[in-house]
Structure 1
Amino acid sequence: MKRIILTIFVLFFLIYSGTIYYHVNKPLPKGLSIEGPVHYVENVELLTDITYKNSENKRSLQHEILQTMLRDIQYAEKFIVIDMFLFNKDTNKDQAYPPLVEELTEALLRKKQERPSISIVFLTDKINTVYHSYPSEELNRLKNNGVKVIETDVRKLRDSNPLYSAFWRMFGQWVKNSGNGHLPNLLAKGAPKVTTLSYLELLNVKANHRKLLITDQAAIISSGNIHNASGYHSNVAFRVQGNIMNDLLKSEESAARLNEQINLPRITKQVERQTNIKIQLLTEGKIGKHVLEEIKNTNKQDSIWIGILYLADRKVIEELKAAAERKVQIYLMLDPNQNSFGNKKSGLPNIPVVAELRKAKAAKYIHIKWYNTGKEQYHPKIFLVDRGKENTIISGSANITRRNLYDFNLETAVKIIAQKDTKVVKETKGYFHKLWTNEGAQFTKDVDTQSKLPLFRYIIYRLQRLSWFTTY
């Protein structure tokens, strides 16, 4: 009997460990994790959403990303492709947020009514129904009015939480979710209840995390979700035109084909002439590759600016330390990770990471500030290397975390290489300078005000790093 039990245990261990290894290292579906060709363009437009406290300590907004998206939808003639991670109006009952979801939904329906022949494809993540625990009113309205809605099948992606996902793949993924939830919705107290199976699927912590809009006129690559509870978040986006739009459409087609065979439209290829601005599409793991390369290629004449929700990836952290030792000036503007959609957070991962960087060998070259958040988040994902004459910007949906940078989530970013006198570089530097120096308002504050972490939370942080069982 003992021999039988031992044999079963050994077989289970082999299958379990083999499942972990394969789904962490398996080939990615075709068309994912790409670095597109480099294109020359005349202009790239920076869009910002900035939430801050004014002189009367009241929340003020300078938001332009959604309004620009709505304008581009209005002027679209042939097609609209949207890929949006969060797209729901679920909020806590005691909180009020801007109706972003309703505004975008109405804009799409109005466009479809005005121009019935226009092709509209909307990709999103299953998180918006908490893995089919309940229906989405907005997504159903879009479907019923001729919009192609695709809830991305992320099971074909690699597993970012392998110790758990191996069990899920062996036992849980075969069970069909029937809805009719009875458990509290942890994402929003005012949202419908969810099923046990939905929570079990949620624990895989993998997503289509992209945030972008493409029309036949332009493309917007954003850090912000169209999500009511995110309505006050600070974000950045870049609006681009030209041949890179076909790279984006091809990439979105690959994401859509995780579910079904589909052909997305293309724009007419344009003749490019050499300009002072080069742009390139990066997705999934190629974002991490380029961020690391840009940090490695800095020297003491350069500076690095990062505005980010989560800074947690060990490779990037170690490269930042090494850059500081080369006397590169590093400026980090971080969310304090204290709030998420009106709910309190633990301060992970940024508080322990900041504590570590402040103790680094060359800490005097690492300058850090918290964004002065209220109940919103400082949500950008923007990286700038200032090399004097030529500057590099990488921005999009990806936080600086293992999950976002190394082929686990679906992510999209744009890389911009431009001369210092170009409008996009001046505006990006101006954005950082304004927030860093508190020009006109108290945008940022010193790290000392929010840098303490209880011991038990630090232990949790270390365990999460070891096990990969984390949301960042």
Structure 2
Amino acid sequence: MFWTLISVLLLIYIATMIYHTYKSLPEGIAYQSDVYKVHEIKFYHDLTYKKGDKTVHELKIFDRINEIIMDADKFIVLDMFLFNGYYEPEQSFPPISENLANTIIKKKQENPAIKVVFISDEVNTGYRSYQSKLLSELEGNGVEVVYTDLERLRDSTPLYSGVWRMFFQWFGQKGEGWIRNPFASTAPDMTARSYLKLLNVKANHRKVVATDKTALITSGNPHDASAYHGNVAFEFGGPIIQEIINAEQAVVNMSEPGIDLPDYDREKGKNSGQYQIQYYTEGKTHKQIVEAINETNEGDEILLGMFYIADRSVINPLIKAAERGVDVKMVLDPNKNAFGNKKAGLPNIPVAEELLEDSKVKIEVRWYNTGMEQYHTKMMYIKDEEEATIIAGSANYTKRNLEAFNLESDLQIKGRPDSELMREVEQYFHRIWNNKGGTYTVDYEKNKTKLTPLQRGVYTIQKFLRMTTY
């Protein structure tokens, strides 16, 4: 009887893992828009760097987001992952989360008729251990707040999530927290049940703002401890805004049905201009990244700025591109810190070593010279003689981010290499690669770290078992 019970539980466990790893996604998730044309796209970046002995912070993205909110007339839709002001007491950061909340509230008070919907992740409530102060304030001022139902998504850590779904999910998360919050000691404590949910490592990782006038896609979070991170953003207008709203409606429908997002007035924006633009979410981004790399030829250029790179389905095409004569340059975060906590350099340090070895050093890597901040950018720029392509947004180049486990938002832009936007993005890369006007990056050798056999073993086992946070 005992072994029969064990066998039945094992079969249920295996079936649970398989189903929730490969199950169909809710309708509208993994969205791909039509191709649109726009005349103008604006590029913004945040950078922290050294200029002599001085640390310089160039922070532009959330200043612009606040302006976008104040300029809106009819509606504002935001989808943001991290949205809180928690960090260690000995640290100090700009209050970008509170500033954003105050801007939204001010706009709502000035224009009570404007429809505002804020979609976010349960990470901001400690996975339902406590209320989000900022999101509660927004709700109290007439903003419709949607917490993403992460359980509807596929499981990226099936060995753990299979156990969680069988035995722990039924108990909920609410209660009196008693476990230290892993994100910051100043954040409220979490319940054990919430902590167990956190270990599924799932997220609505999107960073999107859309209004009746404009839209912006970014890699940055309105999170105080992330304020000094290196990030990028792109702003654009036109009918593609409706596509973004469609993708956000899918998240609302799977999380809190009954909230209808507003429609964009397509008559306000023309589908014409010098840039081709297309919007992707989740696994659709993956396909476009691989295709863009595979289409490069000898003499073309790939410039990559990335927080995490680990997925072999992207790494292998990059190596092959370098082998056929494409100039591949990467600026990577060394993955040495996360909000003041030291990290082991995973995954970028071992992956960078593999990239150099497998490409016979044809791929060039420089590390962003991070301090307490991260180089949080996720952007690829590809150029040939006639066309340049940008793919940027929220998705890191990892299995979790690219293969429809997390919710992600990315933009593909095509245009002539000599167009204003393409020149700006290329100049951005060359500036940090060549340390123009400051120290942004350091040589590969600076962070070259041979993993010990134990570290290498742990890294390999983690990858195989998919028990990672990246």
Structure 2 length normalisation: TM-score?
0.98
After TM superposition, where is structure 1 displaced by more than 6 Å over at least 4 residues in a row? none
What is aligned with 1:339?
337
Amino acid at match of 1:76: A
- Extract unaligned runs of 5+ from structure 2: none
Distance in 1 between the 2:224 and 2:88 partners?
Answer: 11
Matched, 1:192 2:160: no
Compute the displacement of 1:272 (Å): 4.0
Indicate conservation of the 8 Å contact 1:39/1:272, yes or no: no
1:444 pairs with 2:434: no
SS at structure 2 position matched to 1:257: helix
State the partner residue of 1:239. 235
Of 73, 89, 93 in structure 2, the residue corresponding to residue 97 of structure 1 is: 93
1: CA distance between counterparts of 2:422 and 2:374? 25
Aligned mates of 1:461, 1:240 — CA distance in 2: 40
> Are 2:155 and 1:135 equivalent residues in the alignment?
no
Contact 1:41 1:279 in 2 (8 A): yes
Q: What is the rounded CA distance, in whole Å, between the counterparts of 1:206 and 1:332 in structure 2?
A: 27
Post-superposition CA distance 1:50-86 (Å, at most 9, x none) = 1111112x22111110010011111111011110000
Q: One-letter code of the match for 2:197?
A: E
| C-alpha spacing 1:69/1:365, structure 2 compared with 1 (3 Å) | same
**Distance in 2, Cα, partners of 1:343 & 1:202:** 18
Q: Is the 8 A contact 2:87 2:225 kept in 1?
A: yes
Residue 462 (structure 1) aligns with? 460
Partners of 2:69 and 2:104 lie apart in 1 by 7
Match of 1:63 in 2: 59
Match of residue 275 from structure 1: 273
Partner of 1:365, secondary structure, is coil
Aligned 8 A contact 1:211 1:223 in 2: yes
Following superposition, the deviation at residue 273 of structure 1 comes to: 5.2
1:418-437 alignment runs, 5 A limit: 418-437=415-434
What code does the residue aligned with 1:465 have? Answer: K
* Paired amino acid for 2:246: K
1:154/1:258 contact within 8 Å kept: no
Name the CA distance, whole Å, in 2 between partners of 1:169 and 1:273.
46
Shift of 1:364: 3.2
Contact 1:221 1:396 in 2 (8 A): yes
For 2:118 and 2:332, locate their aligned partners in 1 and report how far apart those are by CA, in whole Å. Answer: 31
Query: Does 2:88 match 1:88?
Result: no
Query: Which one-letter code corresponds to 1:234 in the other structure?
Result: G
Summarize the alignment of residues 382-421 of structure 1 with structure 2, pairs less than 5 Å apart. Answer: 382-421=379-418
Which residue is 2:314 aligned to?
316
In structure 1, distance between residues paired with 2:283 and 2:132: 31
RMSD: 1.1
Is 1:210 aligned with 2:238? Answer: no
Q: Which whole-Å deviations, capped at 9, do the CAs of 1:101-131 have from their partners, x for residues lacking one? A: 1100110110011000010000000001111
Q: Match for residue 48 of structure 1? A: 45
Could you tell me which of 212, 215, 226 is aligned with 1:230? 226
**Contact 2:130-2:174 at 8 Å conserved across structures:** no
Secondary structure at the counterpart of residue 61 of structure 1: strand
- For each residue in 1:319-342, what CA deviation from the matched residue of structure 2 results, as whole angstroms up to 9, or x when unmatched? 111111111111110000011112
Q: What is the alpha-carbon distance in structure 2 between the residues aligned to residue 48 and residue 438 of structure 1?
A: 16
SS of alignment partner, residue 73 of structure 1 = helix
Pick closer, same or farther for the CA change 1:315–1:143 going to 2, 3 Å: same
Amino acid at match of 2:391: I
For the residues of structure 2 that align with 1:82 and 1:388, how far apart are their CA atoms? 37
Partners of 1:347 and 1:453 within 8 A in 2 = no
Which residue identity lines up with residue 463 of structure 1 in the other structure? I
Deviation of 1:447 after TM superposition, in Å, equals 1.2
Q: Give the Å deviation of 1:274.
A: 4.5
1:324, 1:363 within 8 Å by CA — same for their partners in 2? Answer: no
Q: Distance in 2 between matches of 1:7 and 1:212?
A: 50
Please give the per-residue CA displacement for 1:20-41, whole angstroms capped at 9, x wherever unaligned: 1111111110001121100010
Q: How many Å apart are 1:253 and its aligned residue?
A: 0.6
Contact 2:239–2:271 (Cα < 8 Å) also in 1: no
* Corresponding letter in the other structure for 1:187: F
* Deviation by residue 1:141-171 (Cα, 9 ceiling, x = unmatched): 1111100011110100100000110111111
Residue matched to 2:22 = 25
1:355 counterpart residue number: 353
Percent identical pairs in the alignment equals 44
- 1:78-104 residue CA offsets vs partner (Å, 9 max, x unmatched): 011110000011101110111001100
User: What's the CA shift for 1:418?
Assistant: 0.8
Instruction: Output one character per residue of 1:182-226: Cα deviation in whole Å (capped at 9) or x when no partner.
Output: 111111122121111111000100100001111111111000000
Report the equivalent of 2:244.
248
Correspondence for 2:261: 264
For each residue in 1:345-401, what CA deviation from the matched residue of structure 2 results, as whole angstroms up to 9, or x when unmatched?
Answer: 1100000001111211x3332010000110000000001111121011110000000
38 and 18 in structure 1: CA distance in 2 versus 1, 3 angstrom threshold: same
Query: In terms of mean alpha carbon deviation, does 44-53 or 262-271 score higher?
Result: 262-271
Displacement of 1:458 after TM fit?
A: 2.1
Is the contact between residue 356 and residue 362 of structure 2 (CA under 8 Å) also seen in structure 1?
no
Q: Which amino acid aligns with 1:421?
A: D
**Aligned partners of 1:268, 1:139: CA distance in 2, in Å?**
28
- Structure 1, unpaired ranges of 5+: none
Opposite residue 307 of structure 2, the aligned amino acid is: L
Question: C-alpha distance in 2, partners of 1:201/1:74?
Answer: 36
Q: For the residues of structure 1 that align with 2:149 and 2:273, how far apart are their CA atoms?
A: 39
Using the alignment, how far apart are the partners of 1:112 and 1:179 within structure 2?
A: 32
State how far apart, in whole Å, the 1-side matches of 2:360 and 2:372 are. Answer: 30
Q: Do 1:309 and 1:334's aligned partners in 2 also have CA atoms closer than 8 Å?
A: yes
